[in-house]
Amino acid sequence: MAVELPLLANAGNHSFTLLTKGSPALVPARRPNSGEQYRFHFDMTKCIGCRCCVVACNEQNGNPAHLNWRRVGELEGGIYPAAQRWHLSMGCNHCLEPSCLIGCPVEAYTKDSATGIVDHDPDQCIGCQYCTWNCSYGVPQFNAERGVVGKCDMCHKRLNAGGEPACVNACPEGAITIEIVDQAEWRQDYSAANSPGMPPARDSLSTTRITLPANLNADRVDDWRATRGQPHWSLVGFLVATQFAAGAFFTIWLLEFSGAALPAWSALVPLLAAKLALAAAPLHLGRPAFAWRAIQGWKTSWVSREILAMSLFAGLAALYALAMYFGRPERVWAGAATVVVGFAAVAVSARIYMVPARPSWNRPATLAAFFLTALVTGLRAMPGLAVPAGFASVAALALRWRETQSMAASESPELRASASIAAGGRWHFYLGLAALFALPLDSLASLVLALASEVMGRYVFFVSAVPRSMASTFLKPGGEVPA
Amino acid sequence: MKSLARILGFDTLGDSYAYRDDPVLGYTSARRSAERWVKSTCGYCSVGCGLELGVRGREIVAVKGWDKHPVSLGKLCPKGLSEHQMISAPNRAKYPLLRGRGGKLAHVGWDEAIGTLVDRFTAVQKQNGPGALGVISTGQLLTEEFYALGKLIQLGFGTRNYCGNTTLCMASAVSGYKRSFGSDGPPGAYEDFRVADVTLLIGANIADNHPILCQHVEANKAGFLIVADPRVTKTAMMASLHLPLKPRSDIALLNGMAHVLFREGLVREDFAAAHANGLEELRSFILARYPVERAAALTGLSAETIADVARRYGRARAGMIAWTMGVNHSTQGAETVSAIANLSLLTGHIGRPGASPFSITGQCNAMGTREAGFTSSLPGYRKFEKKEDREELAALWGIEPARIPDARGLAYPDIINAAADGEVRAMWIIATNPAVSYPNQEQLRRAFRSLDFLVVQDGFHPTPTSEYAHLVLPAAIWGEKEGTFTNSERRAGKVNSAVPPPGEARSDFDIFLAVADRLGRRDELFPGWFKPVDAFNEWRRVSRGRLCDYSGMTYETIEAEGGLQWPYSDGFHGSPASRLYSTARFQFEDGRARLFTVDCEPFPDQPDDVFPMILNTGRTVEHWHTRTKTAQVAILERMAPNAWLEMNSSDARALTLSSHDRVDIVSRRGRVRDVELRVTEITAPGQVFMPFHFFETNGNEVTQDAFDPISREPNFKQCAVRVERSARKQGNTLHGTD
């Protein structure tokens, strides 16, 4: 294949050589060949922690101060005076398996075949922010002012013109450079992408090469940091409502199948819950008007699949409800299909959250908890199933208790931090107990308590998610971050 | 309020986030597209980086490093990279403000403001004597402005009580140079960092404070870098050898090194004997008093380490010792500089490439005020006490020699103390912020409360200092005015105006001319002056033949070369000399330098049972001085939003404190409240460190107002404190810290 040499091609162009500063030591003099890509090289031994790269990146991209597509982190170790302090600097790692791209429901991400650069198109983005959950490095960042995500694109238009990315250009120590890497070789051994203070490169096969000091004995200084996450109330509502609906249809179908005579309108309540949840779901998007795009990525994105599954569930549920209302015999089969698809949709929902970047979500307990929500609330939807509902409640309470214990004892600092945040909010636990004790007394009260408990449980699920990310500096970043 | 189009997501602000292929910057945010570019020299620190300001309309929209600039090689630090953001800060001072009867500052016209200033100052002087007016300036103005201000104060107002915040900064280096070499003037150049065999950085954390110098140090692949600092600074991490010495034991280290040099025959006897006085006194003093073992005990370093450092320095082809505030901020600052100069003179490491004692200056133009400013010396490094110097200057100015003072007036701390005692009754503070930067704030507040009239002239209002003012004069700042800055290596850099100042603000130069006019002295002091270049041309004449000779420079050549180093005499062509004393002829009458016997004394505020820890203060890369400017730059505030206190983990354990606990720092003088604790191994047990930039948690509430008797520089770097958990507890645990 023809290799383009921008420096050579532009050699006769005076303004080009005058204005571009692409130093061969800092950026490659050729384009990647087939099977190769560009990547960052960060030399920790050269970095002095001046954070020029951060400022230069924000200037380059016109970003407000609270969005930093390039960040600097701090490592410390040893005992005075043999203490060590080092710094990390990171933009996007332009991964071989970019979790942002894979998870994106609207195909806003592309991995350029010629350069390997993972690029994001703000025009295509709908602001679902699923990529911000998926990336173990916290690279994609949601710009609330715009309603879309943005990220480092290695300044590829500068690079393609033979220039240096802004961070590379700004670094007074030459600690950040661009290299060409053979993708197949790197896939075999990407260990040079790992570093103290960095999430494991295996999460997405980061291509950034990090040169570590020979005697490195230091680790992150922000382990303590357990900042509450966003509560995502609209998602809390969506999850509890759809899970309640799936559980309730299961209950209705089970009772009908076992011969109980149910009022003809029984299915209308869970149907309404499912429909409302689906209608309200776009509200959490940065660009709700473009929600329709969200099924485009069904081949790879669990978000697209969830929308498809939930839509199918809602459609079948409507058929079932209609069949029931009119007393049609086909309702047994419609009900069975509704229940199967409903539970499948709940499983797909859970899968969305089970990503390496969010250790407290990336556990079997997430799947179990979502199903238990369906059962705890759904079994209370109709009278007569107090005993299984009670068992479901006990299971849900036990699961929560065990999860908190297990995360608190974990080796993972993110999980410990999650556990400590979760331990701060016990309302869902007490409400769940109350729902259990209310079961024999007042079934409606028990249902309301159970729903409240699950809502609080899902709230804790969101706020206690401590993501993996690159080590930050000791000081928590300041400044006002617009909601 | 968001529009519906934005709520629904039809509008994603694509225009304001658009990119553009800019002819100068390349592909970048369209917000940075400039209509024209103005070359200048950075207005923060004294490294003197070259940059270009991109201007669109009346706004500076971008900053870029000046490619191939001899100092910065196209690079800028995070403050420089965002420097344009500071200019459009909302708290820029825009109008003259006069405190009226109700105690409120009210907008007045310039005529009234200048008239009031002159009337009140002259009234105070008439009643209490000329010295009742104290003036404190800065290292932030242009050389032209310093030159004008010096004449205005000393000759126009006739008060000698004129000093600058450079006394909080470089005064010890100035005094040390004068004592050892006969004149102020840093002998070395940045190139020395690139070519020295051995570089000893002592009390200098360049990675945080002068980051763009680091590339020169890093370029020196063959050199051996030694960093002496009690703290494991970012700079210590760059070193081949870090010397974690005890606070204020640097003199012991230097004397111990001298001992090894004497003992092992590493002194260049021929050089020292030929070019310096006091060799034998120094030899017997060092051999008797500072055996390397004693130096080891005083510094906490091993005798082997000190000997190793001494041998490396002594045997080096070219050895450099560079320092900053760790040396200067001391009651023995000037003497420490002399002890450094001793080593240079003993080994002949001076005046050659890579061989120099070298002070890394603080502010962008501290050098300008040292040379031209008429504070601690007469313009052109002339001496108050020297009759010929006074006569020469008087002749240049066409005035009676008797009008030139024969001794310097009160230094900064003495002006403050005189104000607190009611002797200085009126004060003019220009481009500095003592309400953050002065040691022992309680004493400063006493001084401010005692004043009859305080004028604060600044680019920003309110500042913690301007809140005390009776009159606020709004000044243009860097980016809005023209002139020159001189950096640490004696390089004059051109500073240009890119945009007009906001509101009614005027350049300091114009303000000084207007004050002189009102005093009726403009024609005498500033004959035919209208623009800064008029002052510069007079300064060229006044500096001609002096060590700091600017006579051969013009604005055009300075800008064309990316700065010119003095001495640069009339008719000088070719590449400028980049070092002083290359012929080993020093600035004393006899041409010989002076060696000094310097004893290592304990710092004055020693820890005890009540105040058991030693507080050290310093800077962080994101901020500049008292944050008047950098607090306005969102990205810098984002990166370093608050102060912190570093404490060793063993001390934290004993106090049952953890990282992110809130602590108070208490000294014999005051208390700093509610500081975020950082438990760390980068500070030694028994020592704590905090950055000094933050008014909100001001370390100078506890620092000591003890001053070097020679330089009058405060002993900022060591004082005795205790650390307590703050009464207001918050945010120290894993629970809910959002």
Contact of A46 with chain B, judged by CB distance below 8 Å, is answered with yes
Contact of A212 with chain B, judged by CB distance below 8 Å, is answered with no
Residue A441 dihedral angles phi and psi, to the nearest 5°: -95, -50
Q: pLDDT tens digits, residue range B105-141?
A: 999 999 999 999 999 999 999 999 999 999 999 999 9
Domain B97-169+364-530, architecture per CATH: 3-Layer(aba) Sandwich (3.40)
Looking at residue B728, what is its pLDDT? Answer: 63
Mutation for testing the A interface, residue in B29, B37, B81 having most A CBs under 10 Å: B81
User: In which residue ranges of chain B is CATH 3.40.50.740 found?
Assistant: 97-169+364-530
Report the Cα A104 to chain-centroid distance in Å: 10
Strands B319-323 and B198-202: parallel
Residue from A223, A176, A233, A186 nearest A206 by CA: A186
Contact of B1 with chain A, judged by CB distance below 8 Å, is answered with no
Residue A215 contacts residue A191 (beta carbons within 8 Å): no
Q: Which long-range contacts (CB under 8 A, 24 or more apart) does B34-38 make?
A: B34/B61, B34/B62, B37/B64, B38/B496, B38/B497, B38/B498
Q: Outline where A110-223 has alpha helix (H).
A: 130-134, 156-160, 166-170, 183-188
Residue B40 contacts residue B496 (beta carbons within 8 Å): yes
Tell me: do A121 and A241 sit in the same domain. no
Tell me: do A167 and A243 sit in the same domain. no
Tell me: do A339 and A433 sit in the same domain. yes
Residue from A78, A73, A80, A88 nearest A216 by CA: A78
Taking an 8 Å cut-off on Cβ atoms, the answer to whether B734 and A15 are in contact is: no
Amino acid found at A48: I
State which of A192, A220, A248 marks the end of a domain.
A220
| Residue B68, burial from CB neighbour count under 10 angstroms (0-12, 13-18, 19+) | exposed
* Closest Cα in chain B to A478: B638
- The secondary structure of A414-475, three-state, reads HHHHHHHHHHHCCHHHHHHHHHHHHCCCCHHHHHHHHHHHHHHHHHHHHHCCCCCCCCCCCC
How many domains does chain A divide into?
2
* Closest Cα in chain B to A464: B736
Distance CA A374, CA B555 (A): 79
In a domain, A258, yes or no: yes
Neighbours of B561 (CB within 10 A): 18
Nearest residue, CB atoms, A475 vs list B214, B644, B733: B644
Distance CA B345, CA B350 (A): 7
Distance CA B38, CA B53 (A): 5
Name, in order, each residue with C-beta under 8 angstroms of B517's C-beta and a sequence gap of 6 or more.
none
Taking an 8 Å cut-off on Cβ atoms, the answer to whether B641 and A477 are in contact is: yes
Residue B545 contacts residue B151 (beta carbons within 8 Å): no
Does residue B59 sit in helix, strand or coil?
A: strand
Amino acid found at B359: S
Closest approach of A291 to chain B, Cα-based (Å): 10
In the predicted structure, residue B163 carries a pLDDT above the cut 60: yes
Closest approach of A286 to chain B, Cα-based (Å): 6
Q: Outline where A258-363 has alpha helix (H).
A: 268-280, 302-325, 331-353
Nearest residue, CB atoms, A48 vs list B6, B17, B238: B238
Helix axes A443-463, A386-408, angle to 10 degrees: 20
Q: Mean pLDDT, 10 residues at a time, over chain A (483 residues)?
A: 39 37 79 97 97 98 97 97 98 98 97 97 96 97 96 96 96 97 98 97 97 95 77 94 97 90 89 94 93 94 96 96 90 93 97 96 97 96 91 95 93 91 85 94 93 95 93 84 48
Looking at residue A17, what is its pLDDT? Answer: 35
State which of A197, A220, A243 marks the end of a domain.
A220
Tell me: do A216 and A258 sit in the same domain. no
Q: Which two tokens stand for residue B179?
A: 């004592």
Specify the CATH number for the domain of residue A93: 3.30.70.20
Which residues 139-168 of A are in CB contact (within 8 Å) with B? 145-148, 150, 155, 157-158, 161, 163, 166
Which residues 75-134 of B are in CB contact (within 8 Å) with A? 75-78, 81-82
Tell me: do A187 and A304 sit in the same domain. no
Looking at residue A19, what is its pLDDT? Answer: 34
Distance CA A429, CA B602 (A): 61
* Closest Cα in chain A to B634: A65
Q: Which CATH superfamily is domain B171-359 in?
A: Dimethylsulfoxide Reductase, domain 2 (3.40.228.10)
> Considering all CA atoms of chain A, what is the largest pairwise distance in Å, rounded to the nearest integer?
88
Tell me: do A80 and A211 sit in the same domain. yes
Mean pLDDT of B93-110: 96
Give the start-end residues of each E strand in B470-607. 471-474, 483-486, 491-495, 564-565, 593-594
Taking an 8 Å cut-off on Cβ atoms, the answer to whether A288 and B78 are in contact is: no
Q: Outline where A326-363 has alpha helix (H).
A: 331-353
Helix axes A386-408, A364-378, angle to 10 degrees: 150
Closest approach of B307 to chain A, Cα-based (Å): 19
Distance CA B507, CA B476 (A): 5
Does residue B504 sit in helix, strand or coil?
A: coil
Mean pLDDT of B523-533: 97
Give B3's pLDDT tier (boundaries 50, 70, 90): confident
Give the start-end residues of each E strand in A128-215. 141-143, 148-150, 176-182, 209-211
How far CA A182 is from CA of A32, A46, A186, B264, B373, in Å, comes to: 9, 25, 6, 57, 61
Chain A residue numbers with beta carbons less than 8 Å from the beta carbon of B685 are 80
Specify the CATH number for the domain of residue A435: 1.20.1630.10
Looking at residue A11, what is its pLDDT? Answer: 39
Which residue segment(s) compose the domain that A36 sits in? 32-220
Does residue B615 sit in helix, strand or coil?
A: strand
Contact of B16 with chain A, judged by CB distance below 8 Å, is answered with yes
DSSP for residue A381: S
In a domain, A474, yes or no: no
Say which residue the tokens 């410990």 belong to. A416
Looking at residue A183, what is its pLDDT? Answer: 98
Name, in order, each residue with C-beta under 8 angstroms of A86's C-beta and a sequence gap of 6 or more.
A44, A47, A74, A75, A76, A213, A216, A218, B237
* Closest Cα in chain B to A146: B12
In a domain, A118, yes or no: yes
Chain A residue numbers with beta carbons less than 8 Å from the beta carbon of B736 are 228, 421, 424
Report the Cα B138 to chain-centroid distance in Å: 9
In the predicted structure, residue B392 carries a pLDDT above the cut 60: yes
Tell me: do A249 and A202 sit in the same domain. no
How far CA B446 is from CA of A309, B336, B419, B420, B619, in Å, comes to: 74, 31, 8, 5, 27
Distance CA B320, CA B350 (A): 8
Looking at residue B710, what is its pLDDT? Answer: 97
Looking at residue A8, what is its pLDDT? Answer: 39
Tell me: do A140 and A288 sit in the same domain. no
CATH class of this structure's domain B613-725: mainly beta
Distance CA B648, CA B687 (A): 7
In a domain, A26, yes or no: no
Chain B residue numbers with beta carbons less than 8 Å from the beta carbon of A77 are 681
Q: Is the ipTM of this complex over 0.90?
A: yes
Looking at residue A480, what is its pLDDT? Answer: 57
Which residues 182-211 of B are in CB contact (within 8 Å) with A? 207, 211
Looking at residue A481, what is its pLDDT? Answer: 53
Query: Does the N-terminal peptide bond of residue B211 adopt cis geometry, omega within 30 degrees of 0?
Result: no
Taking an 8 Å cut-off on Cβ atoms, the answer to whether A287 and B680 are in contact is: no
Q: pLDDT tens digits, residue range A318-358?
A: 999 999 999 888 888 999 999 999 999 999 999 999 999 99
CATH of domain B37-88: 2.20.25.90
* Closest Cα in chain A to B676: A475
In the predicted structure, residue B729 carries a pLDDT above the cut 70: no
Tell me: do A205 and A305 sit in the same domain. no
Closest approach of A246 to chain B, Cα-based (Å): 30
Rg from Cα positions in chain B: 25
Chain A residue numbers with beta carbons less than 8 Å from the beta carbon of B683 are 80
Looking at residue B46, what is its pLDDT? Answer: 96
Nearest residue, CB atoms, A173 vs list B214, B648, B683: B214
Tell me: do A327 and A211 sit in the same domain. no
Which residues 400-419 of A are in CB contact (within 8 Å) with B? 416-417
DSSP for residue A208: -
Q: pLDDT tens digits, residue range B207-264?
A: 999 999 999 999 999 999 999 999 999 999 999 999 999 999 999 999 999 999 999 9
Residue from A360, A97, A127 nearest A206 by CA: A97
Tell me: do A354 and A388 sit in the same domain. yes
User: What's the mean pLDDT when you consider all of chain B?
Assistant: 96
Residue A158 contacts residue A171 (beta carbons within 8 Å): no
In a domain, A3, yes or no: no
Q: Which two tokens stand for residue B602?
A: 């304990």
Closest approach of B87 to chain A, Cα-based (Å): 16
- The secondary structure of A35-50, three-state, reads CEEEEEEEECCCCCCC
In the predicted structure, residue B200 carries a pLDDT above the cut 90: yes
DSSP for residue B245: P
Looking at residue A479, what is its pLDDT? Answer: 65
Nearest residue, CB atoms, A54 vs list B17, B639, B644: B639
Residue from B526, B510, B442 nearest B476 by CA: B510
Tell me: do A245 and A340 sit in the same domain. yes
Looking at residue A65, what is its pLDDT? Answer: 96
Distance CA B373, CA B146 (A): 5
Contact of A228 with chain B, judged by CB distance below 8 Å, is answered with yes
Rg from Cα positions in chain A: 26
Q: pLDDT tens digits, residue range B462-509?
A: 999 999 999 999 999 999 999 999 999 999 999 999 999 999 999 999
Looking at residue B574, what is its pLDDT? Answer: 60
In a domain, A291, yes or no: yes
Q: Which two tokens stand for residue B389?
A: 């110097």
Looking at residue B101, what is its pLDDT? Answer: 86
Chain B residue numbers with beta carbons less than 8 Å from the beta carbon of A65 are 634-635, 637-638
Q: Which two tokens stand for residue A436?
A: 């259990």
Closest approach of A1 to chain B, Cα-based (Å): 27
Q: Which two tokens stand for residue B17?
A: 């986030």
Chain A residue numbers with beta carbons less than 8 Å from the beta carbon of B235 are 48
Taking an 8 Å cut-off on Cβ atoms, the answer to whether B736 and A49 are in contact is: no
Give B572's pLDDT tier (boundaries 50, 70, 90): confident
Is the sign of the CA dihedral B536, B537, B538, B541 positive or negative? positive
Length of chain A: 483
In a domain, A8, yes or no: no
Q: pLDDT tens digits, residue range A419-475?
A: 999 887 788 899 999 999 999 999 899 999 999 999 999 999 999 999 999 999 999
In a domain, A64, yes or no: yes
Chain B residue numbers with beta carbons less than 8 Å from the beta carbon of A422 are none
Q: Count Cα neighbours of A317 within 13 Å in the Cβ-side half-sphere.
A: 35
Taking an 8 Å cut-off on Cβ atoms, the answer to whether B75 and A170 are in contact is: yes
| Residue A189, burial from CB neighbour count under 10 angstroms (0-12, 13-18, 19+) | exposed
